[in-house]
């Protein structure tokens, strides 16, 4: 098992930047995939970005070129750098760890982008 705690959310104007952090309760070196998901009001949770233990990344089309996911195994952490934020990026952002067939989730951090 692993516990995940997100931080870094907040209110930002359109065009601004935020960096989300995900702190894990144990070493993440062996965790297959670390990811970020988001859920906007009245919408389903969707994948934003994910990174494998080997460093392979993929992004949702809507954030490609604006967001960057990374992981620091030495710090047991994952990050999401979000640039050029848009009002439609407003959502609760969740950190996810997919490890040996099991999903683990944080409680989320709210990102609000004002126009």
- Asked if 99 and 26 count as a contact pair (C-beta separation under 8 A), the reply is no
Instruction: Copy the structure tokens of residue 34.
Output: 């670390």
Query: What pLDDT digit, counting tens, does each position of 49-73 carry?
Result: 999 999 999 999 999 999 999 999 9
Q: What's the CA gap between 110 and 100, in Å, rounded? A: 28
Give the three-class secondary structure for 84.
Answer: coil
Q: What's the CA gap between 3 and 22, in Å, rounded? A: 10
Q: What's the CA gap between 57 and 15, in Å, rounded? A: 24
Query: What pLDDT digit, counting tens, does each position of 79-109 carry?
Result: 999 999 999 999 999 999 999 899 999 999 9
């Amino acid at each position: 098992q692993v516990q995940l705690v997100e931080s870094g959310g907040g209110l930002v104007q359109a065009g601004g930047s935020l960096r989300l952090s995900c702190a894990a309760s144990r070493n993440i070196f062996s965790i297959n995939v670390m990811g970020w998901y988001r859920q906007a009001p009245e919408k389903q949770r969707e994948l934003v970005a994910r990174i494998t233990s080997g460093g392979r990344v993929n992004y949702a089309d809507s954030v490609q070129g604006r967001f960057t996911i990374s992981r620091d195994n030495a710090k047991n952490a994952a990050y999401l750098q979000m640039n050029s934020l848009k009002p439609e990026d407003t959502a609760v952002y969740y950190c996810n760890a997919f490890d040996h067939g099991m999903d683990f989730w944080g409680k989320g951090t709210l990102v609000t982008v004002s126009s």
